[in-house]
Every structure is written in C-alpha cells, then in structure tokens.
Amino acid sequence: MSINQNDLRVIKTKRNLREAFIRLLLQKRYDAISIQDIVTEAQTARVTFYRHYKDKEQLLVDCVNVNFKELVERMSQITTEDVFNHRYQALLLFYKHIQEKETLYKILFSSWGTRVVIEQFRKLFAEMSKENIAEQFHVDKWRVPIPMDIVAYHFASAQIGTAIWWLENNQPYPPEYMAKVSLWLTLAGGLRLFGEDEFYIPPPSIPEKPE
C-alpha cells in the first residue's frame, strides 16, 4: 500500500524534488512556483510528486525538517550542567543557524505560505522548553501552579517571535546579543520594566479543571 521510504528510488526522487524546490525558491516566490515547475526542474513526472507529497506545503515541511535535523543535532551536543547556560547556548545555535542559512530562511520567512517554517520552529522550541521546564518544576520549591504546556507554548512563541523580528529586520544585531536578549526577556520578563516590588504579582492559583 504505502511507499517504502528506504527504497533507493524513493530516496533519490525525494531528494531530487527537495533540491529542485530549493533551487526554484532562490529564483522566485513560493506562491509563484507550481508543482509543474518543481517536477520540470527535478526532471520527473507530475504524478511522481503527488505520490510522495500531498501538496507543495508538505514538500516545504520536508525541506525544513531535513534542515532542522542539523540544528537539533548541534543542540543535542551542548554539554553544560547549568540550565541557564544550556538555554543560552541553544538559543545561540538557533540564531547562528538562521544566520548561516540566511538566504534560504529569508525567502522562507518572507512569503506568507511558508509560515510552515514557523510552525516547525515552534514545535522544536516547545519540545525543548518543556524538557527544561519539567526539570525545574521537579526541584522547584515554589511549585508554581501553571500547567507546563502553557509555559512551553508561551516561551516558545516568544522566542520565535523575537527571531522573526530579527529576520524581518535584516539581522541588525549579532546572534550573541539576540540570544542574550531573548533569554533575558524570557526569564526576567518585563518585571524589570515595571520595577521589581512595585508590581509584584502573586502566582495565580490553579482553578478546577471542568470535566
């Protein structure tokens, strides 16, 4: 029934399509690229495309994923005990990765249809944040009653937002600065903007979850 992803022909075909797509993305906007364009560039039949991908978006997701394995791989090699430092290193790699693939990511982020990329980033960070925060929750004497999912989503989205700003404004600051700012905003929050004691907010208590 379904296609054997280990078949040499499949691997070749998919790589072919990905590479053709990337080549086209360097030439024209995402929306302006038709499936026909992609298969022509990849020198294959249109039907073949549909055998592997539901639509153009799925091909993009595949491209982004392949690229991401690299980033995830790098992040997994960070060797620090310090959670704070770990988070900083991860963010730094994140920004450096975007910088390294500047041309590609600029294109990816610039056209609307490609918010796919954002979604992938979000998932990655949400996963990462979840782990970090989970640890903290265990050793945490405060036991802040906020569901971890919310925290993960909140932090991940915040970091992605900052990164998008950076990209859309042509990277006015170096990755080191961005990682530091992003981390600082996430951890210290706006608290300092308001003065520390003046606006102290007690952690909200968790309400009954209705069935």
Partner DNA sequence: AAACTTAAGTAACAGGTGTATCTTTATGAG
Partner DNA sequence: CTCATAAAGATACACCTGTTACTTAAGTTT
**Which stretches of the chain bind DNA, using CB under 7 A?**
3-4, 6-10, 12-13, 34-37, 43-48, 50-52, 54-56
Q: Which partner in DNA, its own copies, none is near 154 (CB below 5 to 8 A by kind)?
A: its own copies
Show the tokens assigned to 159: 């970091």
Binding its own copies by CB under 8 A: which of 9, 36, 51, 199?
199
| Among 38-46, 72-80, 97-105, 139-147, the segment contacting its own copies (CB under 8 A) | 139-147
- Report which residue type is found at 42: A
Per 3-state DSSP, the chain is made up of helix, strand and coil in percentages (nearest 5) of 70, 0, 30
Residue whose CB is less far from DNA, 47 or 193: 47
Q: Are 167 and 105 in contact (CB under 8 A)?
A: yes
Interface of this chain with its own copies, residues 42 to 71, rule: CB under 8 A: 57
For 210, other C-beta atoms within 10 Å of its C-beta total 4
77 binds its own copies (CB under 8 A): no
Residues 54 and 199: their CA atoms lie apart, in Å, by 51
Judged by CB under 8 A, the number of residues near its own copies is: 62
138 binds its own copies (CB under 8 A): no
Residues 100 and 176: their CA atoms lie apart, in Å, by 14
Residue whose CB is less far from DNA, 5 or 76: 5
Residues 166 and 178: their CA atoms lie apart, in Å, by 8
Residue with tokens 């993960």: 152
Burial class of 208 by CB neighbour count within 10 A (0 to 12, 13 to 18, 19+): exposed
| Among 8-16, 20-28, 98-106, 131-139, the segment contacting its own copies (CB under 8 A) | 131-139
Residue whose CB is less far from DNA, 44 or 120: 44
Q: Least distance from C-beta 18 to its own copies, angstroms?
A: 20
Binding its own copies by CB under 8 A: which of 19, 103, 123, 165?
165
Residue whose CB is less far from its own copies, 8 or 201: 201
**Termini Cα distance of the chain:** 40
Interface of this chain with its own copies, residues 3 to 32, rule: CB under 8 A: none
For 113, other C-beta atoms within 10 Å of its C-beta total 13
Residue whose CB is less far from its own copies, 67 or 182: 182
